[in-house]
Amino acid sequence: MSFTDKQEALVNSSWESFKQNLPQYSVLFYTIILEKAPAAKGMFSFLKDSAGVQYSPTLQAHAEKVFGLVRDSAVQLRTKGVVVLEDARLGAIHIQKGVSGPHFAVVKEALLKTIKEVVGDKWSDELNIAWEVAYDELATTIKKAMS
């Protein structure tokens, strides 16, 4: 099953909507992650000393980076059919922070829920699947780089 133009367009348009309100959506993203995995709070240098999830430019920049990489993954899947990790250090960073396999499912769930908020009544199974495939392929490349 190849990644279609339609799937890429769905990811691209919702990525643009996500960027329209980065402060709100980045806080939402972390909030969902910490609900599912409270212990992950201590992993993030910019969260560990704050009470709950506090907005900061750093927090926003990290969330934007994660969503941006998933969006890039969608573009790569449509153009090349595979995802190549653009930043070879990502494996080492995640090992060093103590990230493990189950964390990837938590981040995935939070990403999909955030996108659902972002698009509101434009949400569809098709949109959800497009983000899911792009995330899964990217997560696989990071996990490989970690092994």
For 52, list phi and psi in degrees, rounded to 5.
65, -155
Partner from ligand ISQ, ligand HEM, none binding residue 30, C-beta < 5-8 Å depending on class: ligand ISQ
Residue 59 in contact with ligand HEM, rule: CB under 6 A: no
Nearest of 40, 49, 54, 58 to residue 109 by alpha carbon: 40
Residue 9-38 contact track with ligand ISQ, rule CB under 6 A, x = bound: --------------------xx--x-----
Of residues 46 and 123, the one with the C-beta less far from ligand HEM: 46
Q: How far apart, in whole angstroms, are the C-alpha atoms of residue 120 and residue 71?
A: 19
Q: How far apart, in whole angstroms, are the C-alpha atoms of residue 129 and residue 147?
A: 27
Of residues 78 and 138, the one with the C-beta less far from ligand ISQ: 138
Q: How far apart, in whole angstroms, are the C-alpha atoms of residue 131 and residue 14?
A: 10
User: What is the DSSP-derived secondary structure letter of residue 120?
Assistant: G
Residue 53 in contact with ligand ISQ, rule: CB under 6 A: no
Stretch that binds ligand HEM, among 2-10, 24-32, 77-85, 88-96 (CB under 6 A): 88-96
Q: How far apart, in whole angstroms, are the C-alpha atoms of residue 98 and residue 95?
A: 5
Residue whose beta carbon is closest to ligand HEM = 45
Residue 104 in contact with ligand ISQ, rule: CB under 6 A: no
Nearest of 115, 145, 110 to residue 130 by alpha carbon: 115
Stretch that binds ligand HEM, among 5-13, 18-26, 118-126, 134-142 (CB under 6 A): 134-142
